[in-house]
Amino acid sequence: MKKFRLYITAIVLTLSAIMATGASAQVLRDADFNSIGRINGNGVVRDDKGRSIGTFDADGTVRDNAGNALGNIKQLEIFDTAGERIGYISTDGTVHDGESNVMGYISINDGKVSDAEKQTIGFARGVRVDWIACYYFFKFFKK
């Protein structure tokens, strides 16, 4: 019986660690690798001082810190509040504007964010690519 309790305790602790890791905040960095903000697993976006500057809702709505809708994300496509597609992300991490022009690139492997000329503009490892695009390219949040 003691072995069974120990086994259950180990499983619960492991699951708790996994869930805590998934909900932890991921740091957003500039090209010089300085921290410029965070996005946690629940979609809360914070600036470098820890103040909330917006959220990514579970339904895809992007909001500012006052709760006003800024846009919407649907299957790697980004829309403004009028429902107009303002951009999308290709499966390889290329970010396009609404006219299909390349705005930049997000490395799926290491979270490196580059502009259209492939100059590094930031890093966001462990953050969803659509959230990265909204933050770095579509400037949904005041920095």
- Per the CB < 8 A criterion, the answer to whether 70 and 63 are in contact is yes
Say if residue 22's pLDDT is above 70: no
| CA 93/CA 84 separation, integer angstroms | 21
Say if residue 136's pLDDT is above 70: yes
What pLDDT sits at residue 143? 56
Phi, psi of 25, deg, nearest 5: -75, 145
What are the tens digits of pLDDT across the range 81-116? 999 999 999 999 999 999 999 999 999 888 999 999
Q: Which two tokens stand for residue 50?
A: 């820890």
Say if residue 25's pLDDT is above 50: yes
| CA 126/CA 40 separation, integer angstroms | 10
Say if residue 3's pLDDT is above 50: yes
* Mean pLDDT value across residues 109-129: 94
Q: Which two tokens stand for residue 85?
A: 């597609």
Bridge-based pairing state of the strands 102-106 and 44-47: unpaired
For CA atoms 81, 67, 58, 111, the dihedral sign is positive
User: Taking all residues of the chain, what is their mean pLDDT, rounded to a whole number?
Assistant: 86
> Which has the closest alpha carbon to 83: 98, 99, 100?
98
What pLDDT sits at residue 76? 94
